[in-house]
């Protein structure tokens, strides 16, 4: 009885035999597809986090769409009020609320989606600089923001007519001064204040206190306390906009006399009563930003809409203010400019660095397919000898290629999508590019094995390859294309982009072509070194070196894929180390320049004596105050512009800045005291005024151009400024500068944190203190900077794995001839370590050559990157960071790559040494 085996069983047996190569290729396709699938959601999530980080760094009062008017809201009913306006106040505040709602309804969709309904309040009373007072705040939504502790909410105590009658009796409407014969008094206004303020000020419920001319009221206004409150949500950004509504605001005048200010809520209906007589008032209005709605993808569109919205006046017409307009501002614009620049830079860097490893991945897959063909060659030869048609052989290979390529790609795409949904739920759908990458990875194995199906007869793998006339042409074409792509990339980088947010394809193509050029150079140069080594070994003792060098030169198994993997891996590691060093060095330089000394103190205004108080703190060696005259007139020829005019003592400034980037460049002197006043300009201000060539006047004095500074300085918040020596202040004329910054040099060994704590105790919490270390720590918290480090080190790990796989596959492809030679050598009495020596000769020349060429290419790639990609979003500065190499960072990057590759090589050598002589010798018959 004959046992017949069906075709499916034969196919299964065929596919089960020699699974090593198939498993490797399938695993590569699966892993690479998963990686390419989750990269896009990961980058999207990272960029979203970076965008929100920039927005969260701003205080709500800065990032919201904000405006303010020194006028009382118009009183009247509105038909389209917001849902949050209590119905009880629609007749009073409705018209104002409706007008603000209409502005939002007319805004672009991106603004409506990210900014909420309008909020506002009116504050009555504007105290003198050092006067104590109680602010009266009118807010139709105040009751929802507070929780009564004691008493009740305030009510109106008189009608609008009664208020007007009393006011007319007290105040002359022509002069707005109190009448001499006035006898009436203004009605008492009921208010509520915070329980904390009531306790601090010892203001009991039922007590009456007055506010008057110290806060620009035309007549004394009695306030009666009817209740105290706690806030519902102390973290509500609303309280950051109000003044002293929770905790009393305290201070002292230059003579040390204390002042206190508290805020009180009155009935919102007071808009028609007490509001009508207030002499000093302000009505801030804002649309709150919901940062969670802003994504990196939507940021450019929102940025454009905000620029248009804030660049034009918005119609705001009510019956009281017909034809009025409001102008809004928001710090969200600068935050989005930063985040979009960061996103553009990060994507460009990742694209530039990822192109090489992706090309290597395809090459390694092709190498794995060659291994499959080598393992299937005997079976294919047998099938062909027994009459199998070429189409049948191709179908068999296509089946296996599909199983190791298409199937893992589909599974990898599904697995990557599932992982992305779990790890990055807010990232959205899988990017089309990930699907394209999965298709490419899935089709490479079947395409390669089908294309190679005709080569079924095996030749000697260690025979010298025939010279191809096409090789030189192909290599020349690659070099020309790489040069052309690089030149075009440099030219495009020097020109303004039509779409700054678009990714230039040349950022991907040029590095890949340059990697191929490095690979070609390696393949051309390292055989020359091997021939020199072979000639020397032939004159020496021992045969392993001679045989190993000869096989390394002749063996055609050493091809483009392993060399490309090693060269790109080494170059990626070196380039990553150099890029991280460059970014870190640039960040350190910017941090040191922006602080300018061991310690930088900043405040809206330092009181007199603050400098002496800081100088007396233990650990402080020297203090250099910097004062500013806001909106100083700078006249250049016939043009007039306004600049921030800073004053500092140059000698003190030079003293405290020892070891830090100097604000005043070497060779520039601001000394004088008379006219013309020497001025140091910011680069932007100098260019705008053509200061180097124009006749200059600053305020009331003639001036001269002393120099200019590009980049950040410790004391300036914008780029339109000039700096003069404090000795020139009398010559400048009638300006009263206020001290806003102090640069502090510390004693050697002094603890900056201890000094900062002492400064806070001496000058109060309103003073901001920072050091270069704190600036760097804040930059390190930026998700983009963290993401760049993670991405580069992850790329190094991936490149190392690919290079290791390429080494293993290369060893596997040459295993047949190597084992035959090893077995023959053992029969001739060679030591077992000879086999390991042969493996080393296959690996070491490639690794050494890749190390040399890869290090050179990797060191050069960041030079190209800094020419075509703006790295300033990673450093926080205005100038491109200088090329830098940190030995520690570079050692970690390159060392990690080499350790992984070496570990795999050692394992491969150990496995190779276990080959049995008898088994290997039997394979000689097959060849």
Quick: pLDDT tens for 109-140.
999 999 999 999 999 988 887 788 899 999 99
Q: Which residue has the higher pLDDT, 617 or 250?
A: 617
Q: Is the pLDDT of residue 245 over 50?
A: yes
Of 247-261, 324-338, 617-631, the least confident:
247-261
- pLDDT band of 512, cuts 50, 70, 90: confident
pLDDT of residue 816: 66
| 800, 665: one domain | no
Does 464 fall in a domain?
no
**pTM recorded for the entire structure:** 0.79
pLDDT of residue 556: 47
| 777, 834: one domain | yes
| 350, 451: one domain | yes
Quick: pLDDT tens for 198-244.
999 999 999 999 888 888 887 888 999 999 999 999 889 899 888 78
| 450, 409: one domain | yes
pLDDT of residue 660: 92
Does 859 fall in a domain?
yes
pLDDT of residue 468: 61
Quick: pLDDT tens for 127-174.
887 788 899 999 999 999 999 999 999 998 888 788 778 777 777 666
| DSSP bridge partners of 600 | 743, 770
| 747, 698: one domain | yes
Q: Which two tokens stand for residue 241?
A: 């906009």
Q: Which of 747, 770, 793 is the last residue of a domain?
A: 770
Q: Rounded to whole angstroms, what are the CA distances from 511 to 43, 430, 868, 884, 890?
A: 21, 26, 12, 20, 20
Q: Which residue has the higher pLDDT, 894 or 602?
A: 602
pLDDT of residue 494: 62
Q: Rounded to whole angstroms, what are the CA distances from 195 to 224, 251, 385?
A: 15, 20, 100
Q: Which of 744, 770, 796 is the last residue of a domain?
A: 770
Quick: pLDDT tens for 731-789.
888 787 888 899 999 999 899 999 999 998 888 777 889 999 998 888 888 898 888 88
Q: Is the pLDDT of residue 926 over 50?
A: no
pLDDT of residue 810: 73
Exposed (0-12), middle (13-18) or buried (19+): which is 407, by Cβ within 10 Å? middle
Q: Is the pLDDT of residue 498 over 60?
A: no
Does 486 fall in a domain?
no
Q: Is the pLDDT of residue 352 over 90?
A: no
Does 473 fall in a domain?
no
In which domain, by residue range, is 344 found? 1-58+339-458
Q: How many other C-beta atoms lie within 10 A of the C-beta of residue 560?
A: 15
| 896, 777: one domain | yes
Does 288 fall in a domain?
no
Exposed (0-12), middle (13-18) or buried (19+): which is 644, by Cβ within 10 Å? buried
| 150, 175: one domain | yes
Query: 783-813 and 560-595 helices cross at what angle (nearest 10)?
Result: 160
Q: Rounded to whole angstroms, what are the CA distances from 36 to 345, 417, 848?
A: 20, 10, 30
Does 121 fall in a domain?
no
Contact 508, 355 (CB under 8 A): yes
pLDDT of residue 490: 87
pLDDT of residue 743: 94
- pLDDT band of 918, cuts 50, 70, 90: very low
| 805, 920: one domain | yes
Number of domains in the chain: 5
Q: Is the pLDDT of residue 185 over 90?
A: no
Q: Is the pLDDT of residue 14 over 60?
A: no
Quick: pLDDT tens for 851-869.
888 889 989 999 988 888 8
Quick: pLDDT tens for 631-648.
788 888 778 888 889 999
Does 706 fall in a domain?
yes
Q: Is the pLDDT of residue 260 over 80?
A: yes
Q: Which two tokens stand for residue 87?
A: 């119905």
Does 238 fall in a domain?
yes
Contact 409, 438 (CB under 8 A): yes
| 275, 318: one domain | no
pLDDT of residue 244: 85
Of 882, 887, 855, 888, give the one whose Cα is nearest residue 574: 855
Query: How far separated are the first and last CA of the chain, in Å rounded?
Result: 35
HEC string for 259-300: EEEEEEEECHHHHHCHHHHCCCEEEEEEECECHHHCCCCCHH
Mean pLDDT of 903-915: 58
pLDDT of residue 771: 92
pLDDT of residue 919: 44
pLDDT of residue 98: 92
Contact 675, 691 (CB under 8 A): no
pLDDT of residue 916: 46
Quick: pLDDT tens for 56-111.
988 888 899 999 888 889 888 887 788 889 998 988 899 999 999 999 999 999 99
| 273, 136: one domain | yes
Return the residue matching tokens 């009116």.
122
- Total residues found in the chain within this entry: 927
pLDDT of residue 917: 42
| 140, 67: one domain | no
| 837, 728: one domain | no
Average pLDDT, the chain: 82
């Amino acid at each position: 009885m004959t046992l017949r085996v069906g075709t499916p069983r034969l196919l299964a047996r065929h596919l089960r035999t020699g699974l090593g190569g198939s498993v490797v290729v399938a695993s590569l396709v699966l892993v690479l597809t998963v990686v390419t699938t989750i990269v896009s959601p990961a980058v999207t999530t990272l960029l979203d986090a970076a965008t929100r980080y920039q927005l969260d760094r701003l205080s709500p009062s800065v990032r919201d769409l904000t405006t303010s008017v020194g006028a009382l809201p118009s009183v009247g009913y509105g038909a389209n009020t917001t849902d949050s306006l209590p119905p009880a106040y629609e007749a009073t505040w409705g018209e104002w609320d409706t007008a603000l709602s209409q502005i939002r309804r007319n805004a672009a969709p991106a603004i409506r989606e990210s900014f909420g309904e309008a909020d506002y309040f009116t504050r009555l009373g504007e105290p003198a600089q050092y006067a104590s007072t109680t602010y009266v705040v009118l807010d139709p939504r105040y009751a929802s923001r507070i929780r009564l502790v004691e008493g009740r909410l305030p009510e109106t105590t008189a009608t609008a007519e009664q208020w007007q009658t009393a006011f007319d009796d007290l105040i002359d409407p022509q002069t707005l001064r109190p009448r001499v014969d006035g006898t009436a008094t203004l009605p008492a206004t009921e208010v509520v204040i915070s329980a904390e303020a009531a306790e601090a000020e010892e203001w009991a419920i039922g007590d009456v206190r007055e506010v008057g001319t110290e806060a620009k009221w035309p007549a004394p206004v009695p306030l009666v306390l009817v209740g105290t409150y706690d806030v519902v949500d102390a973290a509500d950004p609303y309280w950051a906009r109000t003044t002293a509504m929770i905790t009393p605001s305290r201070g002292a005048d230059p003579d040390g006399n204390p002042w206190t200010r508290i805020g009180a809520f009155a009935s919102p209906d007071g808009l028609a009563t007490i509001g009508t007589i207030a002499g000093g008032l302000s009505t801030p209005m804002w649309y709150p930003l919901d940062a969670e709605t802003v994504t990196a993808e939507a940021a450019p569109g929102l940025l454009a809409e905000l620029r248009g919205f804030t660049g034009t006046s918005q119609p705001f017409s009510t019956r009281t203010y017909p034809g009025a307009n409001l102008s809004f501002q928001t710090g969200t614009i600068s935050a989005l400019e930063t985040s979009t620049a960061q996103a553009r830079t990060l994507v460009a860097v990742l694209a530039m660095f990822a192109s090489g490893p992706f090309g290597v991945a395809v090459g390694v897959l092709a190498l794995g397919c060659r291994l499959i063909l080598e393992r299937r060659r005997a079976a294919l030869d047998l099938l062909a000898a027994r009459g199998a048609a070429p189409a049948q052989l191709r179908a068999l290979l296509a089946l296996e290629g599909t199983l190791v390529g298409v199937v893992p790609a589909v599974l990898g795409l599904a697995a990557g999508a599932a992982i992305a949904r779990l790890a990055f739920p807010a990232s959205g759908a899988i990017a089309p590019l990930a699907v394209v990458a999965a298709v490419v990875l899935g089709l490479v194995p079947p395409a390669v094995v089908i294309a190679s199906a005709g080569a079924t007869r095996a030749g000697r793998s260690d025979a010298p390859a025939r010279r191809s006339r096409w090789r030189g042409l192909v290599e020349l074409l690659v070099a020309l294309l790489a040069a052309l792509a690089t030149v075009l990339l440099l030219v495009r980088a020097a020109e303004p982009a039509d779409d700054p947010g678009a990714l230039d394809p040349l950022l991907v193509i040029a590095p890949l072509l340059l990697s191929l050029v490095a690979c070609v150079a390696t393949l051309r140069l390292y055989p020359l070194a091997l021939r020199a080594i072979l000639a020397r070994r032939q004159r020496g003792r021992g045969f392993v070196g001679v045989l190993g060098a000869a096989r390394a030169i002749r063996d055609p198994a050493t091809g483009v894929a392993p060399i490309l993997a090693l060269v790109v891996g080494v170059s990626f590691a070196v380039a990553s180390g150099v890029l991280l060093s460059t970014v870190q060095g640039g960040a350190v330089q910017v941090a040191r320049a922006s602080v300018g000394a061991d310690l930088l103190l900043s405040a809206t205004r330092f009181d007199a004596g603050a400098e002496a108080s800081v100088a007396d703190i233990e650990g402080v060696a020297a203090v250099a105050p910097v004062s500013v005259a806001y909106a100083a007139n700078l006249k250049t020829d016939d043009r007039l512009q306004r600049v921030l005019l800073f004053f500092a003592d140059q000698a003190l400034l030079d003293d405290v800045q020892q070891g830090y980037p100097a604000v005043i460049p070497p060779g520039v002197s601001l000394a004088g005291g008379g006219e013309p006043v020497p001025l140091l300009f910011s680069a932007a201000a100098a260019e705008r005024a053509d200061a180097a060539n124009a006749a200059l006047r600053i305020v009331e004095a003639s001036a001269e151009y002393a120099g200019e500074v590009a980049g950040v300085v410790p004391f300036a918040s914008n780029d339109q400024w000039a700096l003069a020596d404090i000795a020139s202040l009398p010559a400048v004329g009638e300006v009263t500068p206020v001290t806003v910054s102090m640069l502090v040099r510390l004693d050697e060994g002094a603890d900056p944190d201890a000094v900062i704590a002492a400064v806070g105790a001496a000058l109060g919490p309103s003073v901001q203190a920072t050091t270069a270390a704190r600036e760097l720590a804040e930059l390190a918290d930026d998700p983009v900077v963290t993401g760049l480090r993670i991405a580069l080190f992850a790329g190094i790990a991936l490149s190392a794995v690919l290079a290791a796989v390429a080494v293993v596959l290369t060893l596997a492809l040459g295993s047949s001839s190597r084992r035959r030679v090893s077995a023959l050598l053992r029969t001739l009495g060679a030591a077992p370590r000879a086999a390991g020596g042969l493996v080393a000769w296959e690996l070491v020349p490639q690794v050494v050559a890749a190390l040399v060429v890869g290090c050179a290419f990797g060191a050069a790639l960041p030079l190209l990157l800094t020419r075509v990609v703006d790295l300033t979003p990673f450093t926080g500065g205005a100038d491109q960071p200088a090329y830098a190499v940190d030995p520690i960072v570079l050692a970690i990057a390159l060392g990690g790559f080499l350790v992984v590759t070496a570990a795999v090589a050692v394992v491969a050598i150990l496995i190779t040494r276990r080959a049995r002589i008898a088994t290997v010798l039997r394979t000689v018959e097959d060849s």
